Amino acid sequence: MNSMINYLFLCFFVISATACSSSGGGDSDSNQALAARINSGNAEQLGIAGTEAAKQAVQNQTATALGFRSSGKPSIDTISSDLSKSFVGRTANAAASFTCVNGSVVEVTNPDGSATVTFTMCDVGFGLVLDGIVNASSSVSGNTTTVDLEYIDFTISFGPDVITIDLEASCTTDNTTMETSCTFPNVVGFDGRIYSFSEVTVLGDDFSGYTVSATIVDPDHGSFSIVTTNPILFGCVNEQPISGEIQFTDGAGVLVTVTFNDCASFTVSYSGTSEIYFW
């Protein structure tokens, strides 16, 4: 499991507003990316993109940074949300959002109005320790506050296990409801391409499998939204799903099914055709 955790952190979320062209053609969606249209030339890459979305969703939404599946332990998404909410109305600084059993959190305001939040071996409970720097800048438009975060040599550790994070996050908060949504930009997937994920939901666990829904922007072929039709199980040495199935409908209304056969291969099926691909 640790190898999968390390892999998934290298391949994190890409900001959902990224505009991408679609070599397969398509229609515009709300993020101004073209809706993907599947064909024999891009079926494998769309299958990989859907797989990436499922992997990232499971890691970001259901686990702490180290993959310990407990709702009481904060994920990087939760950390980003809490930091961002502290900028709404500035009733308290970001440091006030975190209680350290041991260690500290300090916020310093920079001359340009941005803030630098420094975690120094901050034990937030459960033995989960945050350490490193987060740069933050905020802007307000109407009833929405947007906070851009940059994690620099930020570590999340639990006992001997340590993950180092260098990534960016962009979080939007409704100033009335305080509902916050975060996306994570500029991270490369295992196939070397950069993806965008948003509207993520996850249910399940390591034992029964995960049910995932998410919207993804493929950097070459456009956007599509996946749902899970058979719970996804992880655990392969090569970090791929061992079983499960996802589906999406492309921009032309074609239903596409991606089936995870085993640790070595997956099948993409659409319009009466099926093709097996190998990782």
Residue 12: name the closest of 231, 163, 116 by CA: 163
| DSSP secondary structure of 163-221 | EEEEEEEEEEEETTT--EEEE--S-B-TTS-B-EEEEEEEEEETTTEEEEEEEEEETTT
Low-confidence ranges of the chain (pLDDT < 70): 1-32, 59-77, 89-95, 184-190
Residue 175: name the closest of 147, 145, 149 by CA: 145
Angle at 61 between CA 60 and CA 64, to 5 degrees: 65
- Please report the pLDDT score of residue 67 as a whole number: 33
0.75 exceeded by the pTM?
A: no
Query: What single letter denotes the amino acid at residue 206?
Result: D
How many domains does the chain fold into? 1
- Please report the pLDDT score of residue 85 as a whole number: 79
Burial (Cβ within 10 Å: 0-12, 13-18, ≥19) of residue 198: buried
- Please report the pLDDT score of residue 125 as a whole number: 82
What is the domain range of residue 108? 2-278
